[in-house]
C-alpha cells in the first residue's frame, strides 16, 4: 500500500479509462421504462466488472424496479468494514441537440471525459473499482473489509432502496459508509462534504369551470384558475427572499458563528458565478452569503408551470385548469412531512372560491443531513484526499439532496463520509456532462489511501 499501488494506478490509467468508457455506453436511464432492459444489462455488466476487480460474493438484488448490485471483500478480520454506495443509473440525456459529442460515447476533450454519467455517478463508482483492483494487485489483499452496494434508481428518488436495505441489514452492516457522488470545491481543491439539504417536492393542480371559456363572455365572471395559481405561488415568498409559509422557519437550525466564519473563509466569488450564469444579480434570502443561502438555508423553487394556451399568437381563452411543480430544499431540523402539511394548509386556506385545488406530494423526499466535521473517519478521508491531491481538503456542504445518506445514517447506524471528486462545473443532469481526468485518477488514489488510513483494527 504505497509506491506499488501508486505505480499500478499510474500505469493503468488507459485501462481504467477504457473500462469506464464501457460502463458509460449503457443507456441506464432509470426514468425511461423503454430502457429498463438496457439498465438491467448495465447492472449485469457492472456485477461482472466487480468480479474482474477481485470482489467476491457478487450478487444482483432484485427490487420492484431496477436491481441493486452487491459485492464484497471480507478477508481483513481485524480491520473495520466500510460500505461503498454508488449508483449506475443516469439522468436522461435530453436535450440531445445540445451535446457536443454523443452522450453515450465517452469522448475525451480538454482533459475531461464527456458522457452522461461520467461524473454522476458511473465515473466515481468506477474509480473505486480501479482502486480496489490496484490494491489487490499490489498486496493480494485489502487493508479493510469492503462492501459495495450499487443502485439503479438514484436518479428517480431511490424508491426501492430503503426496503432493500431493511431486507439486507446483516449483509450491509458496517462501521462506515463511503459515498462518492458529490464534487470537490474546485479544480485542485478537494473537499469533504458534511451537509446536504433535504427535499420536499409537490405538484399542484387548479381547476375552474368544467370547460375552457371565452375570455370575452366570461372574463370578470368565471374564476381564472391560472390567476388563482399565480397568486397562491406568489404568496409563498416575500420580497426579501424569505418563504412565507407560517411556521416554515421554526425548525431551521441557526448556523453557528464558527461555521459562518469557515464558509466565509472559502472566499466564494459571487461575481464570477453571476457572470458565468449571465445574470445581472443573484437572488435569495437577505442577510446570507451565496454559500450560506444554498448550503445552510432552505429555499423554494417553482420547477414547472403550465396551463391554457401557449402556442403562437393569441387565443382568447379563459382556461379551465392549470398546474405547477414546486419544491423546497430543507435544512436541519426541517422535516419534509411537516413542510408538506404547512404547504397544504396554506394553499387550501388561501385558494379563492370557485377554484378547486389539489396538492400532491411527489416521491423523492429527503431529510436534510449534517455530519460531525470532527469525526475520525472524516479526518482519515481528509488525510487521504490531501495525499492524493496535494492539498488539504476544505469542509463544505451541498445545496442538493442525496436521500440515501440519511437512509444509511439511520438504518445502518454508521457515519457517512462523502468522498466526492467531480467538479462543480461537471454539468451533472445537463448536456455535456464531464469528469475531469485528473480528478478521476487522483480520486482512485485517494480511495486507495483511504482504505489504508482506515485499515486498522476496529477499535
Q: Rounded distance, CA 408 to CA 200, Å? A: 19
Site for its own copies, residues 36 to 65, rule: CB under 8 A:
none
Q: Does 34 bind its own copies (CB under 8 A)?
A: no
**Among the candidate windows 40-48, 131-139, 286-294, 415-423, which touches its own copies by CB under 8 A?**
286-294
Q: How far is the CB of 335 from its own copies (least distance, A)?
A: 18
Coil, strand or helix: which one is 288? coil
In the block, cell 457572470 appears at 275
Is residue 259 part of the annotated active site? The answer reads: no
DSSP secondary structure letters along 192-231: EEEEE-EEEEEEEEEE-SSS-EEHHHHTTTS--HHHHHHH
Q: Does 231 bind its own copies (CB under 8 A)?
A: yes
Residue 449 to residues 381, 454, 455, Cα–Cα distance (Å): 8, 9, 10
Q: Which is nearer to its own copies, 10 or 317 (CB)?
A: 317
**Among the candidate windows 2-10, 38-46, 136-144, 231-239, which touches its own copies by CB under 8 A?**
231-239
Q: How far is the CB of 39 from its own copies (least distance, A)?
A: 15
Q: Does 285 bind its own copies (CB under 8 A)?
A: yes
Angle between helices 437-454 and 122-139 (to 10 degrees): 50
Which of residues 19, 190, 223, 415 is near its own copies by CB under 8 A? 223
Q: Which is nearer to its own copies, 19 or 400 (CB)?
A: 400
Annotated catalytic residue, options 89, 120, 181, 433:
89
Q: Which is nearer to its own copies, 110 or 280 (CB)?
A: 280
* Residue 186 DSSP code: B
Contact 431, 95 (CB under 8 A): yes
Q: Does 10 bind its own copies (CB under 8 A)?
A: no
Name the CA dihedral angle for 27, 33, 36, 42, rounded to a multiple of 10 degrees. 30
Is residue 166 part of the annotated active site? The answer reads: no
Which of residues 22, 31, 44, 173 is near its own copies by CB under 8 A? 31
Annotated catalytic residue, options 154, 155, 175, 433:
154
Site for its own copies, residues 348 to 407, rule: CB under 8 A:
352-354, 356, 362-364, 398-401
DSSP secondary structure letters along 333-378: T--HHHHHHHHHHHHHHHPPTT-EEEEEEPS--B--EE--TT-HHH
Which of residues 267, 310, 349, 459 is near its own copies by CB under 8 A? 310
280 phi and psi angles, rounded to 5 deg: -90, -5
Q: Does 315 bind its own copies (CB under 8 A)?
A: yes
Q: Which is nearer to its own copies, 77 or 220 (CB)?
A: 220
Per-residue binder mask for its own copies (CB under 8 A), 175-214, x = binder = ----------------------x-x-x-x----xxxxxxx
Handedness of CA 12, 13, 15, 20 (dihedral sign): positive
Q: Does 9 bind its own copies (CB under 8 A)?
A: no
Residue 387 to residues 189, 293, 380, Cα–Cα distance (Å): 12, 31, 11
Residue numbers annotated as active site: 89, 154
Amino acid at each position: 500500500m504505497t509506491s506499488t499501488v501508486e505505480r499500478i494506478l499510474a500505469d493503468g490509467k488507459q485501462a481504467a479509462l477504457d473500462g469506464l468508457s464501457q460502463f458509460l455506453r449503457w443507456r441506464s436511464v432509470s426514468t425511461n421504462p423503454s430502457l429498463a432492459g438496457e439498465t438491467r444489462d448495465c447492472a449485469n455488466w457492472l456485477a461482472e466488472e466487480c468480479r474482474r476487480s477481485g470482489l467476491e460474493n457478487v450478487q444482483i438484488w432484485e427490487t420492484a424496479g431496477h436491481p441493486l448490485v452487491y459485492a464484497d471483500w471480507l478477508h481483513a478480520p481485524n480491520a473495520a468494514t466500510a460500505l461503498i454506495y454508488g449508483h449506475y443509473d443516469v439522468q436522461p440525456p435530453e436535450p440531445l441537440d445540445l451535446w457536443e459529442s454523443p452522450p453515450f460515447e465517452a469522448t475525451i476533450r480538454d482533459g475531461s471525459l464527456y458522457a452522461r454519467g461520467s461524473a454522476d455517478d458511473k465515473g466515481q463508482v468506477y474509480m473505486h473499482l480501479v482502486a480496489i483492483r490496484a490494491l489487490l494487485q499490489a498486496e493480494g489483499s485489502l487493508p479493510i473489509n469492503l462492501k459495495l452496494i450499487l443502485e439503479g434508481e438514484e436518479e428517480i428518488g431511490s424508491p426501492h432502496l430503503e426496503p432493500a436495505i431493511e431486507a439486507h441489514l446483516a449483509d450491509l452492516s458496517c462501521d462506515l459508509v463511503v459515498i462518492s457522488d458529490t464534487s470537490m470545491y474546485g479544480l485542485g481543491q478537494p473537499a469533504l462534504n458534511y451537509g446536504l439539504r433535504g427535499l420536499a417536492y409537490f405538484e399542484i393542480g387548479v381547476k375552474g369551470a368544467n370547460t375552457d371559456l371565452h375570455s370575452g363572455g366570461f372574463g370578470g365572471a368565471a374564476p381564472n384558475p391560472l390567476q388563482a395559481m399565480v397568486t397562491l405561488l406568489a404568496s409563498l415568498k416575500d420580497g426579501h427572499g424569505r418563504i412565507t409559509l407560517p411556521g416554515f422557519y421554526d425548525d431551521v437550525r441557526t448556523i453557528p458563528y464558527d461555521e459562518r466564519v469557515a464558509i466565509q473563509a472559502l472566499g466564494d466569488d459571487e461575481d464570477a458565478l453571476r457572470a458565468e450564469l449571465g445574470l445581472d444579480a443573484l437572488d435569495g434570502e437577505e442577510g446570507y452569503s451565496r454559500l450560506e443561502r444554498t448550503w445552510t438555508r432552505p429555499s423554494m423553487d417553482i420547477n414547472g408551470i403550465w396551463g391554457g394556451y401557449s402556442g403562437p399568437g393569441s387565443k382568447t381563452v379563459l382556461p379551465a385548469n392549470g398546474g405547477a411543480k414546486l419544491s423546497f430544499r430543507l435544512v436541519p431540523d426541517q422535516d419534509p412531512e411537516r413542510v408538506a402539511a404547512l404547504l397544504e394548509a396554506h394553499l387550501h386556506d388561501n385558494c379563492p372560491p370557485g377554484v378547486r385545488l389539489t396538492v400532491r406530494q411527489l416521491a423523492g423526499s429527503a431529510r436534510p443531513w449534517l455530519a460531525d466535521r470532527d469525526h475520525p473517519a472524516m479526518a482519515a478521508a481528509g488525510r487521504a484526499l490531501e495525499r492524493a491531491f496535494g492539498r488539504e481538503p476544505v469542509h463544505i456542504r451541498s445545496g442538493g439532496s442525496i436521500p440515501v445518506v440519511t437512509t444509511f445514517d439511520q438504518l445502518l447506524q454508521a457515519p457517512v463520509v462523502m468522498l466526492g471528486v467531480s467538479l462543480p462545473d461537471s454539468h451533472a443532469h445537463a448536456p455535456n456532462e464531464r469528469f475531469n481526468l485528473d480528478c478521476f485518477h487522483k480520486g482512485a488514489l485517494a480511495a486507495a489511501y483511504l482504505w489504508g488510513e482506515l485499515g486498522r483494527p476496529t477499535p
